[in-house]
Amino acid sequence: MKIFSTLLLLFVLGCTNSGSNKNYLAEPSMAGIEIAEEIPITQQLTPQTPPLQDEQKIIKTARLAYETKDVDATHKKILQLASQYKGLVQSDNSGKDYNRIYKNLVVRIPTENFQSFVDGISEGVSYFDRRDISRQDVSEEFVDLQARLKAKRTLEDRYLELLKKANNVKEMLEIERELSNIREEIEAKQGRLQYLQTQVSMSTVHIEFYKTTAETGVTQSYGQKMKNALQGGWNGISVFFIGILYLWPLFLVAITVVIILRIFLKRKKKH
C-alpha cells in the first residue's frame, strides 16, 4: 500500500512539472507574435514623403541707373553680359542732354540668370542713382487662368455636341453664337496665360548709364570777363541798329504824316 501511494505521488508531481515546462516554452513564441503585430511591415518599408507643392510663378524686374566714366566701354560690357547669359536686348537708345551723354537699354534675360546678370552689371559701380529689384508673384492668377481655361474648353465641347444634335437652323445659329463668345474668351485667357509665362521665364532689366560732360574747376580771368562784356555790348548795339533798319517803313510813314500835318496847320493859320 505504501509503495502504491509513493508511485501515485511521483506520477502527479511529474505531470505537474511537464505542464509548467510547456507553459514556459510557449511564452517566447507568443511574445514574438505580439511584437510582430505592433510594427506592421508596410510602415517599415514605405517612406514618409511630403506632398508636392506647385511651382511659384514670379515675375522679376530690375531698374538700374548710374554714372560711368566711359559710356562706350560700359555699353560694350552690358552687351557681352547679355550674350553670356543668353539674354535679348529689347531696346537700345542713346542721347545727349545739356551736360551729359547717356544710354538706355532694356534687356530680357532668362529668369535663372537674372541675379547673375544684375551682379555682373553692378560689378565696379560704386554708387547707383537708382537700383530697384521687384518680384511679383502671379502664381494665383496663373492657376486661376488655367482652371477657367479648362472650364471654358469643357463648355466648348458640350456646345459642339449640342450642335451635332441641333434640329433646325435657328438652334444651330444660337449654338454657334454661344460658341463664338466662348472661343473669344478662350483666346483672351490663352493670350494672358502666354504673356504671364513669358514674363515669368524672361525677366526684364532696365538700365540707364551716363557720363557728365560739363567742365568743372575752370575760372575766367578779369581781362577775359571785360573782353566778353565789350563783345556783348557791341553785339547789342549791332542788334539795335539792325532792328531799326527793319522798321524803316514805319519811320517813312511817320515822317509823311508829320509833313502833312504841318502843311495843314500852316494853311489853317493863314485863313
Q: Per-residue pLDDT tens for 56-80?
A: 899 999 999 999 999 999 999 999 9
In the sheet that 130-137 helps form, which strands lie side by side, from edge to edge? 88-96, 100-110, 202-212, 58-67, 130-137
Average pLDDT for 89-96: 93
CATH code for position 169: 1.20.58
- At residue 266, the pLDDT reads 77
Asked if pLDDT for residue 35 goes beyond 90, the answer is no
Query: Does 73 lie in the same domain as 124?
Result: yes
* Domain final residue pick, 157, 173, 201: 201
- At residue 112, the pLDDT reads 95
Asked if residue 263 is part of any domain, the answer here is no
Average pLDDT for 108-133: 94
Asked if pLDDT for residue 36 goes beyond 90, the answer is no
Q: What is the per-residue pLDDT across 143-154, written as a single tens digit (0 to 9) for each?
A: 999 999 999 999
Asked if pLDDT for residue 191 goes beyond 60, the answer is yes
Asked if residue 223 is part of any domain, the answer here is no
Asked if residue 165 is part of any domain, the answer here is yes
Mean pLDDT comparison of 34-43, 176-185, 247-256, highest-scoring range: 176-185
Please provide residue 214's backbone torsions phi and psi, each rounded to the nearest 5 degrees. Answer: -70, 135
Asked if pLDDT for residue 101 goes beyond 60, the answer is yes
- Tell me which residue of 74, 77, 136, 83 sits closest to 113, measured CA to CA: 83
Parent domain of 107: 58-135
Asked if pLDDT for residue 248 goes beyond 90, the answer is no
Query: Does 106 lie in the same domain as 83?
Result: yes
Query: Does 192 lie in the same domain as 146?
Result: yes
Query: Does 171 lie in the same domain as 106?
Result: no
- At residue 204, the pLDDT reads 96
Asked if residue 213 is part of any domain, the answer here is no
Could you tell me the pLDDT band of residue 27, with boundaries at 50, 70 and 90?
A: very low
Asked if residue 93 is part of any domain, the answer here is yes
Query: Does 128 lie in the same domain as 68?
Result: yes
Query: Does 65 lie in the same domain as 126?
Result: yes
- At residue 95, the pLDDT reads 92
Residues 57/68, Cβ–Cβ less than 8 Å: no
Q: What percent of the chain has pLDDT over 90?
A: 51
Asked if residue 240 is part of any domain, the answer here is no
Asked if pLDDT for residue 48 goes beyond 90, the answer is no
Number of separate domains in the chain: 3
- At residue 46, the pLDDT reads 37
